[in-house]
């Protein structure tokens, strides 16, 4: 497996639970991520996990296992994984870069 550092934006979607609310399942996923020791940022439509590629992917697999163990028969995941080799970049760094551009827009007004 690659040893690249990556940022993975993850959204696990439990299917067939009989309830529109998924906060209980999101909580279970976050518990798995937290136990991994990887840095993560929870947001309104998923979670961004930061770390070595193999550890991030293993953690995503463990999250699937945790929900299946809870009785969820089917899970659909949306995952976007990004890597960079020119510099280290955290999720907050990416947000800060966009905010700097927006700040420049405001200065021009």
User: What are the Cα distances from residue 72, in Å, to 1, 15, 32, 78, 80?
Assistant: 28, 7, 16, 17, 23
Q: Which residues contact 95 (CB under 8 A, 6 or more apart)?
A: none
pTM of the model as a whole: 0.85
Tell the CATH topology of 5-108: Alpha-Beta Plaits (3.30.70)
Give start and end residues of each alpha helix (H) in the chain.
Answer: 23-36, 53-69, 91-108
Per-residue pLDDT of the chain (109 residues; tens, 9 = 90+): 567 999 999 999 999 998 889 999 999 999 999 999 999 999 999 999 999 999 999 999 999 999 999 999 999 999 999 998 898 888 888 888 899 999 888 778 7
Torsion sign (Cα): 84, 87, 90, 93: negative
Task: Please say whether the beta carbons of 100 and 18 come within 8 A.
Answer: no
């Amino acid at each position: 497996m690659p040893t690249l550092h990556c940022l993975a934006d993850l959204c696990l979607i439990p299917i067939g639970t009989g309830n529109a609310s998924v906060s209980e399942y999101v909580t279970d996923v976050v518990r798995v991520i937290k136990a991994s020791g990887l840095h993560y940022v929870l947001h309104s439509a998923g979670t961004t996990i930061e770390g070595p590629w193999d550890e991030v992917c293993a953690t995503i697999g463990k999250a699937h296992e945790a929900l299946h163990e809870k009785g969820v028969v089917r899970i659909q995941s949306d995952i976007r994984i990004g890597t960079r080799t020119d510099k280290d970049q955290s999720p907050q760094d990416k947000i800060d870069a966009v905010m700097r551009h927006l700040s420049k827009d405001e200065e021009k007004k």
